[in-house]
A and B are shown apart, each in its own frame.
Chain A
Amino acid sequence: MKIKQLSLFIENKPGSLNAVCQILKNNNINIRTLSLADTEQFGILRLLVEEWEFAKKVLEEAGLIVRVTEVLALPVDDRVGGLAAVLDVLDRNNLSVEYMYAFTFGKEGRAVMVFRFEDPDKALEALTKEKIDIIESIGLFH
């Protein structure tokens, strides 16, 4: 199942990231995982939270730009070649990955990787056909 990811525009200057975290904290929202793509001058903060609609609302109310995109979270065996095996499947199915990042914790001895595909629907269909395990909801594992 596709998971909603929130992307935020932040300037690359002291306090920008903390400002976002303070808003989430004040609204009792827990960040499940995140990735930050940065340049010298600005950054793109990507967040996975359970209550994404509520998070989007409070962040936008605070004046931030929030974009919702769909990503897939795939468990990857925590062993040599674990990620390579998954990427093999992606290549075979011609699935283009825009970017990926990892959850900070694993699930039943496996790591969990977040993939942003160029075409999330096509990826979901292909991976389901390949019987690749896909995380159903980030709320399912704590």
Chain B
Amino acid sequence: MGEFVIENRIWNPEMETMPVEDIKKLQLKKLKETVAHAANVPFYRNEFAKRKITPESIKSLDDLARLPFTTKEEMRSGYPFGLFAVPPSQLIRIHASSGTTGKPTIVGYTKKDLALWAELCSRFLVAGGLTPNQITQVAFGYGLFTGGFGLHYGIENVGAAVVPASSGNTKRQITLMHDLNVETLICTPSYALNIAEVIEEMGLKGKLALKYAHFGGEQWTEDMRIAVESALNIHAFNNYGLSEIIGPGVAGECAARNGMHIQEDCFIFECINPDTLEPVPEGEEGELVITALGKEACPVIRYRTRDLARLYRMKCPCGRTGMLMSRVKGRTDDMLIIRGVNIFPSQVEEALLRIDGVAPHYLIELYRPNNLDEAVLKVEMTPQSFSDKMEAMIKLKERITREVSTVTGIHFKIELVAPNSLERSLGKAKHVNDMRNLKVE
């Protein structure tokens, strides 16, 4: 610990190395402004009124505990623009993430929000080796998901070149990386392992210019880091973010890799016991709760991320003063991350209920052959949906595939199974069997 794996570089020394006391003063000032601005959102205005909260009543960061939590449910009930503090006309970008049911969670950005987001992505990219003269390939999907576009503008903000390859078509990805001398790769860690395998198949091992990778979008482990670094001969860095807060860029690793530095000038982190909602002692695992500071379109106060991790402070040799967070160790809800896309089993259920005659008796099975997530959905047959004609059965399978893909964005391989063949325990069906071996550290 403490040794730099690459040269130590800092994008914004003023903010990233600010003394902790000064960061806290800045956070307090911004928290008051955030409370004032959030009052434009009916949900926050009502909550503040109930709790007699005004910007002036915020005297110290301890007053954070008086503020209401925001959950995914609030975001869902506010669909689409209910939790926005500006009218849609002021937005210049809209992204979405999975909701627990069919409707996604919508997030929006003003021009200032996008500039802030690019700045935050630039910080972790530079910490992990990005320089303006590099060519960088983004293999995250470009679309509603915040990963692709978030990183894209962060890279451009640094002055490096972006190859917006998006996800999929691995051989083409590798050809581009090889031919363009791409030095930095952005993707999910499992996809990087898959890329490494295909590079070997293509006989290109050792022939690429790749030096760095930035991984996000899914949980990964130190074992995976060792595997991907040796397979691709690179240095791999972890970053953290979520679209409900802003997207990637909330925290990221430095060259010393002691954890992920939180961008504390823009976010206040808390770590709570998800049952009692009380803070856990520093360094202990709990649910991360995040307040975003200085966002215009979607101010977020005390967002319950459902991500389990540890928070700690240490004197990091890189000079950054931001609090550190550990890798995310798990979730407090049943959200699944499949190929970097977040989904909830309830979305699958909703999709199945759209099809006449199909019962919502299902099991999601997740595998990771060749380091690529494979999702199988077993659906129990019912007398209503069964036909003696093969054509009708194939059509039923295709219909299920389509409906589930529409709702979740994930292509599931559908398996029709016999009635009552899926395990039911205590009357409650088990809906997920994750066999991907995601044990963390």
Contacts and interface: CB of A to CB of B under 8 A. Distances in A.
Contacts of B418: 9-11, 16, 63-65
A34 to B, nearest CB: 12
Nearest to B416: A42
Interface string B363-390: 0000000000000000001110011111
B420 A9 contact: no
A16 B418 CA distance: 10
Interface residues of B, number: 18
Contacts of B420: 63
Contacts of A98: 389, 391
A99 interface: yes
A67 B381 contact: no
Contacts of B197: none
B393 A5 contact: no
B419 interface: yes
A68 to B, nearest CB: 9
Nearest to B388: A7
Contacts, number: 53
B12 interface: no
B433 interface: no
A67 B419 contact: no
Contact of B390 (A37, A41, A63): A37
A98 B390 CA distance: 9
Contacts of B394: 39
A69 interface: yes
Contacts of B389: 44, 98-99, 116
A64 B383 CA distance: 9
Given A9-B416, A41-B415, A42-B416, A67 B390 contact: no
Contact of B386 (A9, A39, A46): A9
B387 A67 contact: yes
Interface of A: 5, 7, 9-11, 16, 37, 39, 41-42, 44, 46, 63-67, 69, 98-99, 116
